[in-house]
Structure 1
Amino acid sequence: MANKPIMQRLAKWHIWLGWLVGVPIAMWTATGLFMVAKPIDEVRGNHLRLPVEQQALIIAGSDLATPDAQLAEITMRMQDGRAVAILTTLDGVTSRVDVATGAPIPAVDAPAARAIAAERIAGGDKVRSVTFFDADEVPFDFRRPIPVWQIALEDGAHVYIGRDTGEIEAVRTSWWRWFDFMWGLHIMDLSEREDTSHPILILFAALSLVGALFGCILMFRRRKARVTASAA
């Protein structure tokens, strides 16, 4: 009997909490259902883009972008105090050259990857391991098909440095990996963690919205019953 007043108070607080959060929960589930109803590529209008044949990049008077080079993209960077051109061909092959001399720059090796991490990442000098991954064998927390060096730091962070670009391609902290796992649970896609519109997710989003709406309706019914009981 002593616990009855406590339980009654908890029930009362539960009702008031339901009034407070019921509408936002219904709003979140409704907007969530709307956002997962269509694939993100379709939302972005990518399905409307007509295919265009990719052409080689040619710059008149340039020794880099010649017709024979078959370049798709040139990106300019400052690396180690010099201007560097990162070249990507139509076949997806990436390399670097010194802009001033046109001389090819060797691919990043393990010591160079360590030096880049130490220079550009806080705590990057506290290295636990250095591992190279080919484009078709990259770790799950990277998920990009390019050859990279993984610099595993003592704090659990993974720094990924492109072998052919000399750039930091990604930084994955321990928190990021947990966030990525939770994101996979959130969209119900633990295998790829990219599909935000699939039948299972849409079904459960719809069921959640129905449940939230029922909860909001029942709060009015509970309040009406309490008012009737008080009047009696």
Structure 2
Amino acid sequence: MAQQNAMQLLVKWHIWLGWLVGVPIVMWLASWLFMVIKPIEEVRGEHLRISVAEAPLVIEGSAFATEDAQLKDMRLTMQEGRAIAILATTDGVTTRVDYATGEAIPPVDAEGARAIAAQRILGGNDVTSVRFFEAEEVPFDFRRPRPVWQVSLEDGTNVYIGRDTGEVEAVRTRWWRWFDFMWGLHIMDLSEREDTSHPILIGFAALSLLGAIMGCILMFRRRKTRAKTASS
């Protein structure tokens, strides 16, 4: 008898919990379906941009400007107490120069990567390994086509230092890697973990929304039926 009463109480709590979370679940699934219908590139309006041929930057009066330089982008930053210009050319080459003198700064080596991690990352002194990766062979948790040093720390964190920029390009903790895996499960794209609009995802989102709506309808009918039975 006691077990039967406990089961009835559990069923009652389950029904009330269903009423409590049913509407938020429907809202979440409806918003999920809406967001995955269109590719993120279309949402951001990338398809509306008119492609323009790249033209090199024309910089006159600069210590590092030359007639042969085909600069695509220039960014100024402070490194080691001096102004550094990070230059990107139209053919994809990135270099660093001293902004005041125009003197070229050599690419970051392994010791330089260690020093940058120690200066800019908490616990950056606790290094277990330093490895270099070419742009075409970067680890999966970085996923950017640029040459980097991977500085691995004792707590499992991977710090990525740009060889040509001298910047911390990314920090990947163990939690980030698990989050990235869960994100891949969420969007059903474990290979690249970037495609947020594909037929499988849209189909499951639509089915989930339909199931949640049917569940809410059935809960309402169950409550109505129980009310009629009690009054008869």
TM, length-normalised to structure 1: 0.98
Name the aligned partner's letter for residue 57 of structure 1. L
The answer on whether the counterparts of 2:156 and 2:173 sit within 8 Å (CA) in structure 1 is yes
Q: How does 1:161-200 map to 2 (within 5 A)?
A: 161-200=161-200
Give the gaps of 5 or more residues in structure 1.
Answer: none
Return the offset for 1:3.
1.2
After superposition, the C-alpha distances for 1:130-155 in whole angstroms (9 at most, x for unaligned) are: 00000000000000000000000000
Name the aligned partner's letter for residue 2 of structure 1. A
Return the offset for 1:61.
1.8
Once superposed, what is the RMSD of the aligned Cα atoms?
A: 0.8
The answer on whether the counterparts of 2:142 and 2:170 sit within 8 Å (CA) in structure 1 is yes
The answer on whether the counterparts of 2:63 and 2:100 sit within 8 Å (CA) in structure 1 is no
Distance 2:140 2:25 in 1: 33
Name the aligned partner's letter for residue 25 of structure 2. I
User: Is residue 120 from structure 1 mapped to residue 120 from structure 2 by the alignment?
Assistant: yes
Distance verdict in 2 for CA 1:56–1:67, change over 3 Å: farther
Distance 1:45 1:74 in 2: 25
Distance 1:15 1:125 in 2: 54
User: Is residue 72 from structure 1 mapped to residue 72 from structure 2 by the alignment?
Assistant: yes
The answer on whether the counterparts of 1:148 and 1:160 sit within 8 Å (CA) in structure 2 is yes
Partner of 1:216: 216
Return the offset for 1:97.
0.5
Please identify runs of 4+ aligned residues in structure 1 that moved more than 6 A.
none
Partner of 1:55: 55
The answer on whether the counterparts of 2:63 and 2:99 sit within 8 Å (CA) in structure 1 is no
Identity %, equivalent residues: 71
The answer on whether the counterparts of 2:63 and 2:101 sit within 8 Å (CA) in structure 1 is no
The answer on whether the counterparts of 1:57 and 1:67 sit within 8 Å (CA) in structure 2 is no
The answer on whether the counterparts of 2:85 and 2:99 sit within 8 Å (CA) in structure 1 is yes
Give the gaps of 5 or more residues in structure 2.
Answer: none
Distance 1:26 1:64 in 2: 59
